[in-house]
């Protein structure tokens, strides 16, 4: 489909894309408090940037709740991007050091390990509250 739109071919390395996504997910799960902080900062910045677009306080307050909900949604969508960027570096670093198959294997192990860690962290937080 893409070759019909463009007159040239773009080579995609599907293993590198999968490895990058896996490393990004592993980092996002392992550092979830940092991910929550990134989401909060993006949401704060979106709200600040949108406030500067309005000249009157009445126009700003009219649909404030809907815009803040939309900004929170966009912040949650964009918050994994720094982790995916770090995943690119990890993917190519491990790929250069150990090879492509090892990079994918280690990324899968990292996702499983960070997922188990995150489940344990949340369980310990919920048991501390009760």
DSSP assignment of 94-128 equals HHHHH-HHHHHHHHHHHHHHHHHHHHHHHHHHHHH
Instruction: For residue 26, tell me if it sits in a domain.
Output: no
Count: domains in the chain: 2
Instruction: For residue 88, tell me if it sits in a domain.
Output: yes
Q: In the predicted model, is pLDDT for residue 70 greater than 80?
A: yes
Instruction: For residue 73, tell me if it sits in a domain.
Output: yes
Pair (70, 92) in one structural domain: no
Q: Model pTM?
A: 0.81
Pair (99, 69) in one structural domain: no
pLDDT at 101: 86
Instruction: For residue 16, tell me if it sits in a domain.
Output: no
pLDDT at 38: 95
CA angle, 91 then 92 then 95, to 5°: 85
Q: In the predicted model, is pLDDT for residue 12 greater than 90?
A: no
Instruction: For residue 56, tell me if it sits in a domain.
Output: no
| pLDDT tens profile 24-53 | 999 999 999 999 999 999 999 998 888 887
For residue 74, the enclosing domain spans 32-49+63-79
What does the radius of gyration of the chain's CA atoms come to, in whole angstroms?
Answer: 20
């Amino acid at each position: 489909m893409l070759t019909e739109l463009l007159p040239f071919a773009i080579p995609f390395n599907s293993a590198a894309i999968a490895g990058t996504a896996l490393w990004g997910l592993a980092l996002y799960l392992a550092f979830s408090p940092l991910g929550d902080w990134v989401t909060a900062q993006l949401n704060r910045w979106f709200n600040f940037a949108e406030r500067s677009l309005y000249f009157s306080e009445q126009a700003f307050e009219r649909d404030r709740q809907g815009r803040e909900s939309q900004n929170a949604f966009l912040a949650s969508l964009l918050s994994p991007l720094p982790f995916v960027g770090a995943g690119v570096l990890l993917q190519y670093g491990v790929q250069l050091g150990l090879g492509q198959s090892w990079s994918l294997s280690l990324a899968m192990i990292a996702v499983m390990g960070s997922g188990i860690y995150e489940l344990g962290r949340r369980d310990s937080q919920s048991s501390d509250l009760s």
